[in-house]
Amino acid sequence: MKAILQDEYGSADVLRYMEIPVPVVGDDEVLVRVRAAGVDPGVWHYMTGLPTAGRLGLGLRRPRVPVRGSDVAGVVEAVGRNVRKFKAGDEVFGVAASGSYAEFAKAKENRLVPKPDGVSFEQAAATPVSGMTALQGLRDRGRVEEGQRVLVFGAAGGIGHMIVQLARGYGAEVTGVARESKLDFVRSLGASTEVTGPYDLIMDTAGNRPIKELRPLLTPSGTLVIVGGEGGKGRFLGGFERSLRAYAMSPLIRQRLKPVMSLPKLADLEALARFLADGTLRPVIDRTFALDAAPDAIRYLNSGAARGKVVVTVTPA
Question: Which parts of this chain interact with ligand NAP (CB under 6 A)?
Answer: 40-42, 129-130, 133, 154, 156-160, 178-179, 182, 205-207, 227-231, 260-262, 301, 304, 306
146, 124 in Cβ contact below 8 A?
no
Q: Which is nearer to ligand NAP, 76 or 164 (CB)?
A: 164
| Nearest-angstrom CA–CA distance, 256 and 249 | 9
CB of 150 to ligand NAP, least distance (A): 16
CA distances (Å), 160 to each of 12, 256, 292, in order?
A: 24, 20, 28
Q: Which is nearer to ligand NAP, 169 or 304 (CB)?
A: 304
CB of 205 to ligand NAP, least distance (A): 4
CB of 296 to ligand NAP, least distance (A): 15
CB of 219 to ligand NAP, least distance (A): 23
Q: Which is nearer to ligand NAP, 25 or 155 (CB)?
A: 155
Cα torsion through 254, 259, 262, 265, rounded to 10: -20
CB of 156 to ligand NAP, least distance (A): 5
**Burial of 204 per CB tally in 10 Å (0-12, 13-18, 19+):** buried
Q: Which is nearer to ligand NAP, 23 or 142 (CB)?
A: 142
- Supply angle C-alpha 228, 234, 236, rounded to 5: 100
Q: Which is nearer to ligand NAP, 71 or 103 (CB)?
A: 71
204, 222 in Cβ contact below 8 A?
no
Cα torsion through 22, 72, 97, 9, rounded to 10: 90
Q: Which is nearer to ligand NAP, 127 or 205 (CB)?
A: 205
CB of 111 to ligand NAP, least distance (A): 16
CB of 152 to ligand NAP, least distance (A): 10
Q: Which is nearer to ligand NAP, 181 or 221 (CB)?
A: 181
